[in-house]
Structure 1
Amino acid sequence: MIPLVAVAHGSRDPRSAAAVRALVARIAAAAPDLDVRVAFLDLSEPLVTDVLRDLVSEGHRDAVVVPLLLGSAFHARVDLPALVAEVPGLRVTIADVLGTALSEVAFDRLAAVADVSDPGLGVVLAAVGSSRAAANEVVATLARRWQARHGFRAVAAFASAAKPDVPAAVAKLRARGARRIAVASWFLAPGLLPDRIAAQARAADPAVVLAEPLAGDPRVAELVLERYTTALAAATRSA
C-alpha cells in the first residue's frame, strides 16, 4: 500500500510532539497493513523532507501526505507544498486538512468541562490565528454555528495574528450577558499557544473552564485515515 505520512506543524514544546506521536500510533494501530509515518514541518523531528527522502531511498514511488492541521492557512497552502516539492523522485498527493470535520470533537471536549445547556454560559472558541482572513472566518463561523444550535453565547478568539484575543472575547461575552466562561479548544495538541490562551483566560476570569485539545479523541485518527483514503482515490482516478 502507498504510505501515509501524517504531517504536523511541530513545536518547541515536547508535549505537542508527544501528542502527535500518540495520534499517529493510533492511526497505525487502526490500519496495521498501512505504512504510517509521522513528520513535522518545523521545530520537531523527523522533518517531512527527511521522511519523504527516506521513502525514496526505500524504493517507494508514491506517498500520501495528510496534514494534521485544522485550518487551510499558510502552512497548508504554502509551506507544505513547497517542502514536498523539495523531494524529487516521489509522487506525493497532499490530502485535505482536518478542518471543521472535527467540530463535533471540539464540541464534545467542551461539553466534558462545561454545562452547554446553561443559558448563562459564554464560550470562547480559541484557535491559533492566521494572517489569512478566510482561515480565521472558518473559526468564527463555527462559533456562530454553535451559538445558533446550542443557545449559549460564543465568539472566536486567537492566540496570534488575528483579533479578538481571549481577553477581548471574554469582555464581549460578558457584555452580552454571559455569567460563566468556558474556552473550547481549536488546537490539535497542547503546546505554547494553548498555554498562552489558558493564561489569558484565567487572567480574564479565574473561574474559567478549559477544554482539552483534540488529538486524543479516537475520531481524529479515523478522520486522518478517511483523508488518506479520499486523497488516494482521487490520485488513482487522475493517474
Structure 2
Amino acid sequence: MTIPLVAVAHGSRDPRSAGTIHALMDVVRSMRPDLDVRTAFLDLSAPRLGDVLSAVHGDGHEEAVVVPLLLGRAFHARVDVPAAVSEAEQQYPRFRVHTADVLGPDRHLVEAAWRRLSQAGADPGDPELGVVLAGAGSSHAPANRLVADVAARWQEHTSWAGVVAAFAAAADPDVPAAVAALRARGARRFAVGSWFLAPGLLPDRIIEQAREQTGDPVLADPMADDPGLADLVLQRYTDALTAAARPEHYSRAQ
C-alpha cells in the first residue's frame, strides 16, 4: 500500500480556484495511477486538511504525505499547515504525517509562469514591452522577494523595457505603481505575468487594475494547469519520503 499524497491548497470563495486545483491533481493521478492522491484546502473551500487526514487514517493508512500547494513559506506554510498536521497526529497517535516543502522557489514555477506569459503573446524581443509579474503579496518579506527575484531574472534574459513585480495586497508596489515605473523606463505596451496557481479574487483584482492602467494588456493565465506543476508536486512528495527515511529524521522525532 503506497503512502497517500494529500495536496493542500489555500482555498478561495471563487469556485474556479478549487476547480483548477482539482484539475492539477487529476494530472498528478494520471502520472502516478498507483498513488492515492487526495486534495484538501486550508480555508474557504472544502474538504479541509484535517478532515482529509482523518479520512486517510480511517481508510487504514498509518502514514500520509502533505504537499502544500503554496508558492512560498509565508504564514500558511509556517503556521496553518503545521497546526493542522499536529492536530491530526495528536488525534491519532500512531498516525505519522510527513510534510513536504512548499512549491517555491523552484525552476518548475519559473518555467510555468514564463510559458503562460509566452502563450499569451508576450514577445521577449519587444523593447517597448513592460511586464508586470503579479503575485498575491504577503507580510512575509521573503515570499515577496521571491517574485521580485524572478522578475529580475526575466529582465536579464529579455529585451523588454522592464519587468516589475507587483502585488494584489499586503506588499508594495501595487499594479499602478509598477505600470508607472515601467512607463518611466520606456514601456509603451504592457503584459501581466501570473505568479498565481489558480484564478480567484486576487488575480481578478490584478487584471482589473492592469486594464485600468494600460487599456488592453497581454494577460497570462495562472500556473496550476501547466504540466510542470504536476511534476513538481510529485517531486515534493518523493523528497518528503526520502527525508523521512533518513536516520536523523527518526532521531529528531523521538
TM-score range, shorter chain: over 0.9
Q: Does 1:177 align with 2:186?
A: yes
Distance 2:216 2:13 in 1: 29
Deviations 1:8-34 (A, max 9, x none): 000000000000011111111110100
- Stretches of structure 2 lacking an aligned partner (at least 5 in a row): none
Gaps of 5+ in 1: none
Aligned residue pairs: how many? 239
Give the AA of the match of 1:96: D
What secondary structure is seen at the aligned counterpart in 1 of 2:157?
helix
User: What secondary structure does 1:100 align onto?
Assistant: coil
1:207 to partner: Cα distance: 2.1
Q: Which residue of 2 aligns with 1:192?
A: 201
Residue-by-residue CA offset, 1:88-117 (whole Å, 9 max, x unaligned): 222111111111321011011111121121
1:124-175 deviations in Å (ceiling 9; x for gaps): 0000000011111111111011101223210100000001011110111001
The equivalent of 1:163 in structure 2 is 172
Structure 1 residue corresponding to 2:147, chosen from 128, 139, 145: 139
- The one of 104, 107, 114 aligned to 1:107: 114
SS at match of 2:138: coil
SS, match of residue 197 in structure 1: helix
| 2:103 is equivalent to residue 98 of structure 1 | yes
Distance in 2 between residues matched to 1:181 and 1:120, nearest whole Å:
8
Structure 1 runs, 4 residues or longer, greater than 3 Å off = none
Query: 2:217 is matched with which residue: 208, 212, 217?
Result: 208
Name 1:62's counterpart in structure 2: 63
* TM-score, structure 2 as length reference: 0.92
What letter is aligned with 2:48? Answer: L
CA RMSD of aligned residues (A): 0.9
The percent identity for this pair of structures is 63
Please report the TM-score for the alignment, with normalisation by the length of structure 1: 0.98
Higher alpha-carbon deviation: 95-104 or 122-131: 95-104
Distance 2:50 2:11 in 1: 13
How is 1:21-100 mapped onto 2 (pairs within 5 angstroms)? 21-88=22-89, 89=92, 90-100=95-105
Amino acid at match of 1:140: A
